[in-house]
Amino acid sequence: MSRKRNIAVAIAISAAAGFLALQNVSAPTPDSATQTSATVELIVTEPPVTEASGPNQCAFVWAYHDAPELTENLDAAVKAINPAASGRAQLFGEDCVYADGHSTFGTKETDFYVRAPADDLTNEEAFGNWIAQVMPIVAQIPREEIQGNYGFVEFWFEKNEAEHVIVRVPIQKYMDEAQGKTGAELFLMFYVAP
């Protein structure tokens, strides 16, 4: 009986070690992937023993939180260029939710959203020029006011509720590769057709 239990424990430990090893290996890219027809089957007769969750453990949940001060500043700067436009900021990260219901938030990045009316949804030149006016505003926000990493600025050019064009500009990519670009060139650098 003891030998069977030892074998079951050994299998469980091996399975756990294999699982942990897989967690530390990145998925292969299409270029590096190789095909194999081998299948591995593991049968565990007894589940591994785990400790009960304690009061200091939490569950992580993706979450968004408003950034009121950044929103106020961005919205005012955007409206100074076009009173019909609007801007807001949002923090993206994880809520760590505890058993008693309270949670803490860890910011991964700060994202921005800018909406502007548009009569012509094919005017790539105008869209790119609008992006060129707004991105320097975001890029000039002091780094200490950005929580987590630089995220993106998502531009909505809206004709009406059903008709719009959305362009997402990663802030760091803009700062590294696109400063000084305008018009259709800038728009097409970031636009991904639906």
Residue type, position 174, single letter = Y
Q: Identify the pLDDT of residue 5.
A: 41
pTM above 0.75, yes or no: no
Q: Identify the pLDDT of residue 53.
A: 54
Q: Identify the pLDDT of residue 152.
A: 98
Q: Identify the pLDDT of residue 90.
A: 98
DSSP letter assigned to residue 178:
I
Contact 148, 107 (CB under 8 A): yes
Q: Which of 114, 121, 134, 136 is nearest to 193 (CA)?
A: 121
In the three-class reduction of DSSP (H, G, I as helix; E, B as strand; rest coil), residue 175 is classed as helix
CA distances from 135 to 4, 20, 184 (A): 65, 42, 15
Q: Identify the pLDDT of residue 4.
A: 43
Whole-angstrom distance, CA of residue 88 vs CA of residue 154:
10
Whole-angstrom distance, CA of residue 93 vs CA of residue 113:
16
Q: Which of 157, 153, 84, 78 is nearest to 120 (CA)?
A: 157
Contact 158, 116 (CB under 8 A): yes
Averaged pLDDT, groups of 10, the chain, 194 residues long: 41 40 38 33 34 68 95 98 98 93 93 97 98 97 95 97 96 95 97 92
Q: Identify the pLDDT of residue 56.
A: 75
Q: Identify the pLDDT of residue 101.
A: 87
Whole-angstrom distance, CA of residue 139 vs CA of residue 150:
9
**Residue that is written with structure tokens 């094919």 in the block:** 122
- SS3 percent helix, strand, coil of the chain, rounded to 5, is 35, 30, 35
